[in-house]
Structure 1
């Protein structure tokens, strides 16, 4: 289902860009910078999307979705929390080992708990859950100064995505849901992204241009 939705989304983007050709240089600018490792920190980029070795090419869907999320993080629309796990996950089949690593969340000041329950097939929605039942603090970045304000959220429940993931999946979790908890391969952090305001979406143009630097 997600692959079909992604293809439809890509066709819609292509139609949009043909009508508004100024989008092409903006999006291909993002693609070039993503391919060259321009954006930092890497664990944040990998949290937004991490290509599998079977499909390494970055396309306009990746650029568009990344631009939305990156701009949102840098303009107070998306609030975040980085929880130190110490290493990246094992492959999906290592369920017990991955859940053992996720137990390290209890050693931090984060009140949340993550459970890795990978789903299989095209209908899979996530790799588990991340939830917290008491006050958890998130950072709101005050772009362009780079300063951060901490915001408490009383409780919450988010899908968990582990390992490589598609940009469109992350985009949908955030902008069509409430957010997502991401644990990419080779990342020492579980990175939680929560949509703090829906007022900005989908008026993305100016924020994307501001953040593409």
Structure 2
């Protein structure tokens, strides 16, 4: 088992001690499998950026990966992790088509610059995403609202704009387990995901989870709403 899977196992071990938290994991799984986390503009890119697998449908994931996914979603909803979608030149092709994928990444929206590792040779991630100026991200306020009174109405997050300074993030292309996304957030304080089927890279920045999040929060955000 890899280090990031060990991290997910530890998260699940903690969650299952509390029946309510354990039940919440499977409620998020139901939302995931039912498409309730899809977005009108991004489609399934948000959910697939948290984690995806070509081999297994979300309903058949190992339970620790389901827990890692739900934990990530909670971090985003609570504002500990903020994100921003970034347009590229198209959807990623197979891992073997590194030249084609690199060409699509050359069209990544400024001020972002995405670069693919053309050899990878056992590297911990597929490439890098860099930005040389302050950027804005969508950060959750820890609250939700319902668009109407119907029992099965969609739940939407209340958000505001947060900022972070020039930096970089590891880039993961295609499929990647939720536990790997969490590991990058813990280790680097940020992660960029370009999942299959998406024209967008989703950059996630850790604003308050663990030591890396504490560092990032002290840089720029100051935990105040920026509504201008």
User: 1:172 maps to which residue?
Assistant: 183
Alignment CA distance shift 1:85-1:11 (3 Å): closer
TM-score, structure 1 length as denominator?
0.78
Aligned residues: 195
User: 2:225 maps to which residue?
Assistant: none
Greater mean deviation of Cα atoms: 74-83 or 186-195: 74-83
User: 1:87 maps to which residue?
Assistant: 90
- In structure 2, the gaps of 5 or more residues are 146-156, 213-228
Alignment CA distance shift 1:79-1:10 (3 Å): closer
Q: Stretches of 4+ moved more than 6 A in 1?
A: none
Shift in Å at residue 101 of structure 1?
0.7
Inter-partner Cα distance in structure 2 for 1:193 and 1:12? 22
Report SS of the residue matched to 1:26: helix
User: 2:171 maps to which residue?
Assistant: 160
Structure with greater contact order relative to length (CA < 8 Å, sep ≥ 6):
1
**Superimposed CA distance per residue, residues 43-87 of structure 1 (whole angstroms, 9 cap, x where no aligned partner):** 1000000112x3442232222211222122222211111011253
Asked if the contact 1:81–1:138 (Cα under 8 Å) also holds between the matched residues in 2, the reply is yes
Greater mean deviation of Cα atoms: 72-81 or 181-190: 72-81
TM-score, structure 2 length as denominator?
0.73
Alignment CA distance shift 1:43-1:30 (3 Å): same
Match of 1:69 among 59, 64, 72: 72
Inter-partner Cα distance in structure 1 for 2:112 and 2:174? 19
User: 1:186 maps to which residue?
Assistant: 197
Does residue 140 (structure 1) correspond to residue 142 (structure 2)? The answer is: no
